[in-house]
Amino acid sequence: MTPTVFILNGPNLNLLGVREPQIYGHETLAELRQRCEDHAHSLGLNIDFRQSNFEGALIESVHEARDSAAAIIINPAGFSFTSIALLDSLKMFDGPKFEVHISNIHRRESIYHASLISRTADAVIAGLGTDGYLAALKAVAERLSNGTPGNTSRGLQQPTAVLS
């Protein structure tokens, strides 16, 4: 079965491509979604791409991912720096989880430096623009095919040979 990756986007990212293009670029969220879908299919993955401005809705998506997703890619946006509740929900997800930021949060004002979500993310990609989502998808595909933790029955096939 083709594994599904949840791609979750936090508050205000619905305005991608509309506001502050000097920071976030010109691509809209709909265009990004299409690019992610195409890239995922080329990697043998399905995606479920969501955006919400509501903390609880994002948390419920993470809960849903526990049963239906092999991995999570999340751009928590402003909730990165405030939401212990979102952090707690992600801790309950056993598969690979990658945090993506379009901008390089470490080069910005100090309020953007300390992501709570990074405490549970397997990896953080920041500053690659929206290509960071594609890089995360590639990393997910590699993780799942390597059989590293998180590759459960929901993931890709187990490797045919295991070196010891």
Residues that bind ligand CA2 (CB under 6 A): 12-13, 15-16, 19-20, 24, 75, 77-78, 80, 101-103, 105, 112
Please name which of 158, 150, 127 lies closest in space to residue 6, comparing C-alpha atoms.
150
**In the annotation, is 112 catalytic?**
no
Q: How far is the CB of 158 from ligand CA2 (least distance, A)?
A: 34
Q: How far is the CB of 99 from ligand CA2 (least distance, A)?
A: 9
Q: Which one, 5 or 156, has the nearer CB to ligand CA2? A: 5
How would you label 59-90 residue by residue, b for 16+ Cβ within 10 Å and e otherwise? Answer: bebbeebeeebbbbbbbbbebbeebeebbebb
Q: Which one, 116 or 156, has the nearer CB to ligand CA2? A: 116
Residues facing residue 72 across a β-bridge: 6, 97
Catalytic residues: 24, 101
